Protein backbone atom coordinates (compact mmCIF):
# COMPACT_ATOMS: atom_id res chain seq x y z
CA UNK A 1 0.00 0.00 0.00
CA UNK A 2 1.34 3.38 -0.97
CA UNK A 3 -0.22 6.12 1.09
CA UNK A 4 2.15 8.31 3.04
CA UNK A 5 -0.17 11.06 4.31
CA UNK A 6 -0.99 11.82 7.94
CA UNK A 7 -3.96 14.01 6.96
CA UNK A 8 -6.20 14.42 3.95
CA UNK A 9 -6.24 18.19 3.60
CA UNK A 10 -6.28 18.41 -0.18
CA UNK A 11 -5.42 16.74 -3.46
CA UNK A 12 -2.37 18.97 -3.89
CA UNK A 13 0.09 16.88 -1.79
CA UNK A 14 -1.06 13.50 -3.17
CA UNK A 15 1.09 11.60 -5.66
CA UNK A 16 -0.60 9.62 -8.45
CA UNK A 17 0.29 6.27 -6.80
CA UNK A 18 -1.38 7.41 -3.56
CA UNK A 19 -4.53 8.34 -5.48
CA UNK A 20 -4.54 4.91 -7.13
CA UNK A 21 -4.02 3.14 -3.78
CA UNK A 22 -6.97 5.01 -2.29
CA UNK A 23 -9.26 4.33 -5.26
CA UNK A 24 -8.33 0.62 -5.32
CA UNK A 25 -9.22 0.30 -1.65
CA UNK A 26 -12.45 2.25 -2.27
CA UNK A 27 -13.40 -0.30 -4.96
CA UNK A 28 -13.17 -2.96 -2.26
CA UNK A 29 -15.49 -0.93 -0.03
CA UNK A 30 -18.01 -0.50 -2.85
CA UNK A 31 -18.39 -4.30 -2.84
CA UNK A 32 -18.72 -4.39 0.94
CA UNK A 33 -21.38 -1.68 0.82
CA UNK A 34 -23.39 -3.56 -1.79
CA UNK A 35 -23.54 -6.69 0.34
CA UNK A 36 -25.97 -7.48 3.11
CA UNK A 37 -23.41 -7.21 5.92
CA UNK A 38 -21.82 -3.83 5.51
CA UNK A 39 -19.51 -4.03 8.48
CA UNK A 40 -15.79 -4.11 8.83
CA UNK A 41 -13.80 -3.66 12.05
CA UNK A 42 -10.82 -1.67 10.80
CA UNK A 43 -11.76 1.35 12.94
CA UNK A 44 -13.01 -0.53 15.98
CA UNK A 45 -11.96 1.32 19.10
CA UNK A 46 -11.24 4.50 17.14
CA UNK A 47 -13.15 7.75 17.64
CA UNK A 48 -14.25 9.94 14.74
CA UNK A 49 -15.58 13.46 15.30
CA UNK A 50 -17.36 15.36 12.52
CA UNK A 51 -17.30 19.18 12.78
CA UNK A 52 -19.31 20.88 10.05
CA UNK A 53 -19.29 24.67 10.25
CA UNK A 54 -21.14 24.90 6.92
CA UNK A 55 -24.32 23.19 5.77
CA UNK A 56 -23.98 19.76 4.28
CA UNK A 57 -26.28 16.88 3.44
CA UNK A 58 -24.42 14.24 1.47
CA UNK A 59 -20.88 14.86 2.69
CA UNK A 60 -21.78 14.78 6.37
CA UNK A 61 -24.12 11.77 6.04
CA UNK A 62 -21.53 9.98 3.97
CA UNK A 63 -18.68 10.49 6.47
CA UNK A 64 -20.96 9.37 9.28
CA UNK A 65 -22.06 6.18 7.51
CA UNK A 66 -18.47 5.49 6.42
CA UNK A 67 -17.17 5.67 10.00
CA UNK A 68 -20.00 3.53 11.36
CA UNK A 69 -19.49 0.84 8.72
CA UNK A 70 -15.83 0.65 9.70
CA UNK A 71 -16.74 0.21 13.36
CA UNK A 72 -15.60 3.61 14.69
CA UNK A 73 -17.34 5.51 17.47
CA UNK A 74 -18.72 8.46 15.52
CA UNK A 75 -19.87 11.77 16.91
CA UNK A 76 -21.25 14.57 14.74
CA UNK A 77 -21.04 17.92 16.53
CA UNK A 78 -23.96 20.29 16.11
CA UNK A 79 -21.78 23.33 15.45
CA UNK A 80 -24.74 25.75 15.57
CA UNK A 81 -25.26 24.73 19.19
CA UNK A 82 -21.59 24.63 20.19
CA UNK A 83 -19.49 27.14 22.10
CA UNK A 84 -18.39 28.63 18.78
CA UNK A 85 -21.60 30.65 19.12
CA UNK A 86 -20.29 31.97 22.45
CA UNK A 87 -17.16 33.25 20.74
CA UNK A 88 -14.82 30.32 21.16
CA UNK A 89 -12.33 30.22 18.31
CA UNK A 90 -11.97 27.35 15.91
CA UNK A 91 -8.60 26.53 17.42
CA UNK A 92 -9.92 26.47 21.01
CA UNK A 93 -12.70 24.14 19.94
CA UNK A 94 -10.18 21.92 18.18
CA UNK A 95 -7.90 21.81 21.23
CA UNK A 96 -10.83 20.96 23.49
CA UNK A 97 -11.85 18.07 21.28
CA UNK A 98 -8.23 17.00 20.86
CA UNK A 99 -7.97 16.53 24.62
CA UNK A 100 -10.66 13.84 24.33
CA UNK A 101 -8.29 11.77 22.13
CA UNK A 102 -10.16 11.46 18.86
CA UNK A 103 -8.43 9.51 16.06
CA UNK A 104 -10.11 11.20 13.11
CA UNK A 105 -11.45 14.74 12.80
CA UNK A 106 -13.61 15.52 9.78
CA UNK A 107 -13.93 19.27 9.27
CA UNK A 108 -15.87 21.53 6.92
CA UNK A 109 -15.34 25.28 7.26
CA UNK A 110 -16.32 28.36 5.23
CA UNK A 111 -12.77 29.79 5.30
CA UNK A 112 -10.09 28.59 2.90
CA UNK A 113 -7.11 27.32 4.89
CA UNK A 114 -8.98 26.87 8.20
CA UNK A 115 -8.74 23.07 8.08
CA UNK A 116 -4.96 23.14 7.42
CA UNK A 117 -4.52 25.48 10.39
CA UNK A 118 -6.50 23.16 12.61
CA UNK A 119 -4.46 20.14 11.50
CA UNK A 120 -1.33 21.82 12.89
CA UNK A 121 -2.87 22.01 16.37
CA UNK A 122 -4.12 18.46 16.91
CA UNK A 123 -2.54 15.01 17.21
CA UNK A 124 -5.03 13.02 15.18
CA UNK A 125 -5.72 12.62 11.46
CA UNK A 126 -7.69 15.52 9.95
CA UNK A 127 -9.87 15.13 6.86
CA UNK A 128 -10.94 18.21 4.95
CA UNK A 129 -14.64 17.99 4.07
CA UNK A 130 -14.44 21.30 2.19
CA UNK A 131 -12.80 24.61 3.17
CA UNK A 132 -14.06 27.78 1.50
CA UNK A 133 -13.06 27.88 -2.15
CA UNK A 134 -9.88 25.95 -1.46
CA UNK A 135 -10.21 22.15 -1.54
CA UNK A 136 -12.71 19.32 -1.21
CA UNK A 137 -10.47 16.28 -1.61
CA UNK A 138 -12.97 13.49 -0.93
CA UNK A 139 -15.31 14.97 -3.55
CA UNK A 140 -12.57 14.87 -6.20
CA UNK A 141 -11.67 11.31 -5.17
CA UNK A 142 -15.28 10.12 -5.38
CA UNK A 143 -15.59 11.81 -8.77
CA UNK A 144 -12.40 10.05 -9.90
CA UNK A 145 -13.70 6.67 -8.75
CA UNK A 146 -17.00 7.25 -10.54
CA UNK A 147 -15.16 8.17 -13.75
CA UNK A 148 -12.72 5.25 -13.49
CA UNK A 149 -15.57 2.74 -13.04
CA UNK A 150 -17.68 4.22 -15.86
CA UNK A 151 -14.86 4.69 -18.37
CA UNK A 152 -12.53 1.85 -17.35
CA UNK A 153 -9.60 4.24 -16.88
CA UNK A 154 -8.63 7.55 -15.31
CA UNK A 155 -6.14 8.90 -17.84
CA UNK A 156 -6.24 10.38 -21.32
CA UNK A 157 -9.91 11.36 -21.04
CA UNK A 158 -11.36 14.69 -22.13
CA UNK A 159 -13.16 16.11 -19.12
CA UNK A 160 -15.25 19.29 -19.23
CA UNK A 161 -15.89 21.08 -15.93
CA UNK A 162 -18.70 23.59 -16.42
CA UNK A 163 -20.22 26.54 -14.62
CA UNK A 164 -19.11 28.45 -11.54
CA UNK A 165 -15.42 27.53 -11.56
CA UNK A 166 -14.28 30.62 -9.65
CA UNK A 167 -16.10 29.84 -6.40
CA UNK A 168 -15.80 26.08 -6.50
CA UNK A 169 -13.52 23.99 -4.28
CA UNK A 170 -14.89 20.96 -6.15
CA UNK A 171 -13.49 22.33 -9.42
CA UNK A 172 -10.15 23.15 -7.79
CA UNK A 173 -9.64 19.69 -6.29
CA UNK A 174 -10.84 17.98 -9.46
CA UNK A 175 -8.54 20.05 -11.61
CA UNK A 176 -5.54 18.96 -9.56
CA UNK A 177 -6.53 15.31 -9.40
CA UNK A 178 -7.48 14.91 -13.04
CA UNK A 179 -4.38 16.86 -14.09
CA UNK A 180 -2.08 14.58 -12.03
CA UNK A 181 -3.66 11.58 -13.79
CA UNK A 182 -2.91 13.12 -17.20
CA UNK A 183 -6.31 13.97 -18.57
CA UNK A 184 -7.27 16.77 -20.93
CA UNK A 185 -9.25 19.32 -18.95
CA UNK A 186 -11.61 21.93 -20.35
CA UNK A 187 -13.20 24.61 -18.21
CA UNK A 188 -16.42 26.10 -19.54
CA UNK A 189 -18.26 29.04 -18.02
CA UNK A 190 -18.91 32.77 -18.25
CA UNK A 191 -15.73 34.88 -17.94
CA UNK A 192 -17.13 36.38 -14.69
CA UNK A 193 -17.05 32.90 -13.10
CA UNK A 194 -13.62 31.92 -14.40
CA UNK A 195 -10.57 32.47 -12.14
CA UNK A 196 -8.04 34.95 -13.49
CA UNK A 197 -5.03 33.48 -15.35
CA UNK A 198 -6.46 29.95 -15.12
CA UNK A 199 -5.24 29.09 -18.63
CA UNK A 200 -1.67 29.14 -17.24
CA UNK A 201 -2.50 25.87 -15.44
CA UNK A 202 -2.53 23.85 -18.64
CA UNK A 203 -6.29 23.75 -19.07
CA UNK A 204 -8.38 24.87 -22.04
CA UNK A 205 -10.89 27.63 -21.28
CA UNK A 206 -14.18 28.16 -23.15
CA UNK A 207 -17.15 30.42 -22.67
CA UNK A 208 -19.30 28.52 -25.15
CA UNK A 209 -20.77 25.17 -24.07
CA UNK A 210 -21.14 23.70 -27.54
CA UNK A 211 -17.50 24.42 -28.40
CA UNK A 212 -16.14 23.23 -25.06
CA UNK A 213 -18.19 20.03 -24.93
CA UNK A 214 -16.98 18.84 -28.33
CA UNK A 215 -15.90 15.19 -27.97
CA UNK A 216 -15.86 15.27 -24.16
CA UNK A 217 -15.87 11.90 -22.33
CA UNK A 218 -17.05 13.42 -19.07
CA UNK A 219 -19.28 16.46 -18.44
CA UNK A 220 -19.06 17.71 -14.87
CA UNK A 221 -21.58 20.39 -13.92
CA UNK A 222 -21.15 22.69 -10.91
CA UNK A 223 -23.63 24.49 -8.68
CA UNK A 224 -23.82 28.28 -8.82
CA UNK A 225 -22.23 29.10 -5.43
CA UNK A 226 -24.46 32.07 -4.63
CA UNK A 227 -23.34 32.14 -1.00
CA UNK A 228 -19.82 32.98 -2.19
CA UNK A 229 -20.90 35.71 -4.63
CA UNK A 230 -20.99 39.32 -3.53
CA UNK A 231 -22.31 40.94 -6.66
CA UNK A 232 -23.86 40.38 -10.06
CA UNK A 233 -21.86 37.53 -11.56
CA UNK A 234 -24.66 36.36 -13.85
CA UNK A 235 -27.39 38.37 -15.62
CA UNK A 236 -30.29 36.09 -14.55
CA UNK A 237 -30.83 32.38 -13.88
CA UNK A 238 -32.92 32.13 -17.04
CA UNK A 239 -30.18 33.58 -19.17
CA UNK A 240 -27.58 31.42 -17.39
CA UNK A 241 -29.56 28.26 -18.10
CA UNK A 242 -29.95 29.27 -21.71
CA UNK A 243 -26.18 29.68 -22.20
CA UNK A 244 -24.62 27.28 -19.70
CA UNK A 245 -27.34 24.93 -18.41
CA UNK A 246 -26.80 21.35 -19.57
CA UNK A 247 -29.64 19.95 -21.67
CA UNK A 248 -29.89 17.21 -24.34
CA UNK A 249 -29.07 19.61 -27.13
CA UNK A 250 -25.81 20.91 -25.63
CA UNK A 251 -24.86 17.41 -24.46
CA UNK A 252 -25.16 16.16 -28.05
CA UNK A 253 -21.84 17.91 -28.77
CA UNK A 254 -20.02 15.60 -26.34
CA UNK A 255 -19.19 11.96 -27.17
CA UNK A 256 -22.30 9.75 -27.51
CA UNK A 257 -21.25 7.80 -24.39
CA UNK A 258 -20.25 10.85 -22.33
CA UNK A 259 -21.28 10.70 -18.68
CA UNK A 260 -22.94 13.56 -16.83
CA UNK A 261 -21.87 14.43 -13.28
CA UNK A 262 -22.89 16.93 -10.59
CA UNK A 263 -21.60 17.03 -6.98
CA UNK A 264 -24.96 18.19 -5.63
CA UNK A 265 -26.90 19.97 -4.38
CA UNK A 266 -28.34 20.63 -7.84
CA UNK A 267 -30.38 23.59 -8.99
CA UNK A 268 -32.57 21.88 -11.57
CA UNK A 269 -33.38 24.16 -14.47
CA UNK A 270 -30.42 26.42 -13.63
CA UNK A 271 -27.27 24.32 -14.13
CA UNK A 272 -28.89 21.22 -15.52
CA UNK A 273 -32.14 20.00 -17.01
CA UNK A 274 -34.00 17.90 -14.41
CA UNK A 275 -34.89 15.08 -16.80
CA UNK A 276 -31.28 14.76 -17.95
CA UNK A 277 -30.07 14.68 -14.33
CA UNK A 278 -32.40 11.72 -13.70
CA UNK A 279 -31.58 9.87 -16.94
CA UNK A 280 -29.77 6.74 -15.75
CA UNK A 281 -28.31 6.19 -19.22
CA UNK A 282 -26.35 9.45 -19.07
CA UNK A 283 -26.23 10.71 -15.51
CA UNK A 284 -23.98 9.12 -12.85
CA UNK A 285 -25.07 11.54 -10.12
CA UNK A 286 -26.42 8.76 -7.87
CA UNK A 287 -23.25 6.68 -8.43
CA UNK A 288 -21.24 9.68 -7.24
CA UNK A 289 -23.14 9.59 -3.94
CA UNK A 290 -22.59 5.83 -3.65
CA UNK A 291 -18.85 6.20 -4.38
CA UNK A 292 -18.67 8.93 -1.74
CA UNK A 293 -19.23 6.48 1.11
CA UNK A 294 -16.63 4.02 -0.23
CA UNK A 295 -14.01 6.72 -0.84
CA UNK A 296 -14.45 8.10 2.69
CA UNK A 297 -14.13 4.60 4.14
CA UNK A 298 -10.89 4.13 2.17
CA UNK A 299 -9.52 7.52 3.24
CA UNK A 300 -10.22 6.95 6.93
CA UNK A 301 -8.88 3.38 6.79
CA UNK A 302 -5.56 4.53 5.23
CA UNK A 303 -5.14 7.49 7.60
CA UNK A 304 -5.86 5.34 10.66
CA UNK A 305 -3.13 2.89 9.52
CA UNK A 306 -0.66 5.76 9.20
CA UNK A 307 -1.47 6.96 12.70
CA UNK A 308 -0.71 3.48 14.00
CA UNK A 309 -2.85 3.60 17.12
CA UNK A 310 -1.37 6.83 18.51
CA UNK A 311 -4.00 9.36 19.34
Binding site for ligand NCD (CB under 6 A): 58-59, 130, 136, 139, 169-170, 223, 225, 263-264
Contact between 60 and 296 (Cβ < 8 Å): no
In this complex, which beta carbon is closest to ligand NCD, that of residue 49 or of residue 261? Answer: 261
Please, are residues 187 and 213 in contact by the beta-carbon 8 Å criterion?
no
CB closer to ligand NCD, 9 vs 253: 9
Q: How far is the CB of 273 from ligand NCD (least distance, A)?
A: 18
CB 115 within 8 A of CB 109: yes
Per 3-state DSSP, the chain is made up of helix, strand and coil in percentages (nearest 5) of: 45, 15, 40
Nearer Cβ to ligand NCD (148/172): 172
Of 46 and 293, nearer to ligand NCD (C-beta) is: 293
The residue whose Cβ lies closest to ligand NCD is 223
Q: How far is the CB of 206 from ligand NCD (least distance, A)?
A: 21
- Which residues are CB-contacts of 31 (< 8 A; sequence separation ≥ 6)? none
- Cα–Cα distance list, 26 to 7, 11, 143, 203, 256 (Å): 17, 16, 12, 28, 28
CA dist 300 to 68, 85, 129, 202, Å? 11, 29, 12, 32
- Least spacing, CB of residue 62 vs ligand NCD, in Å: 9
Nearer to ligand NCD, 125 or 261 (CB): 261
Report the nearest approach of ligand NCD to the CB of residue 129 (Å): 8
Least Cβ distance, residue 128 to ligand NCD (angstroms):
11
Amino acid sequence: MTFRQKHLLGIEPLAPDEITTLLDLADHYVSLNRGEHKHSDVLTGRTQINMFFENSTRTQASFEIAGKRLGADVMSMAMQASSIKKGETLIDTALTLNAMHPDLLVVRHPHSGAVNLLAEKVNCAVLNAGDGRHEHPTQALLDALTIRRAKGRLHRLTIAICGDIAHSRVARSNLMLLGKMENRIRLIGPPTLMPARIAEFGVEVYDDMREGLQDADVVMMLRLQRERMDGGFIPSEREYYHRYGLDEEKLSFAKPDAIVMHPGPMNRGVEIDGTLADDINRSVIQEQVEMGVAVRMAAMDLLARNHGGAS
